[in-house]
Amino acid sequence: MIPAKPLFANARQAWQRRPAAERLRLSIGTGISLTLVGYLLAQQIDFAKMINAELWNAPSQYEASLLTDLPPVTTMTADTWRQGALRHSLVLDRLEASDDGWRLVGRADNLDAFEHFSAWAAQRGWWALDWTLARDDEAGLAVEVRFVAQLEREPMAALEEATP
């Protein structure tokens, strides 16, 4: 093993042999590199756990108001869906009611028509959860969408870790 004293002496001699401009560039580059490494490490630290997890996990008053501001769920029939679709330039080929919502298949003139139709449904408490949009021809889109009245959550069991 090499003693530390000769190792530092060799490093100091190599440093001093470099021109002053190069030493300045290396010093500035090292400072910038260390600052960036510190920034990246700070991004990875979970400060919420270090301070108080309950404080950070409690829903804020703003978030609570968002939940109460959700529109009420309107009962929808196949005719209501068809009329809403026609008002927003959608032609529905198939409507299927199920326990968890409605599946609609049809065509739209453009993406804006689908977005406006989804907004219309959301105002009535129905949310586009799964959708597929594909170019049907040069003038339109093939649309398949599932609307639900209740937003779904992932089961907690899948998210929880096993406790030893």
Residues 46-92 pLDDT 10s: 666 666 555 555 556 666 666 667 788 888 999 999 999 999 989 99
Q: How confident is the model at residue 21 (pLDDT cuts 50, 70, 90)?
A: very high
Cα–Cα distances (Å) from 17 to 4, 21, 24, 27, 60, in that order, read 20, 12, 13, 15, 60
| Chain segment 85-128, per-residue pLDDT in tens | 999 989 999 999 988 889 999 999 888 999 999 999 999 989 88
Give the per-residue pLDDT at 7: 76
| 146: β partners | 103, 130
- Pick the range with the lowest mean pLDDT from 26-30, 90-94, 158-162: 158-162
Q: Does residue 157 have a pLDDT over 90?
A: no
Q: Rounded to whole angstroms, how far apart are CA atoms 36 and 33?
A: 5
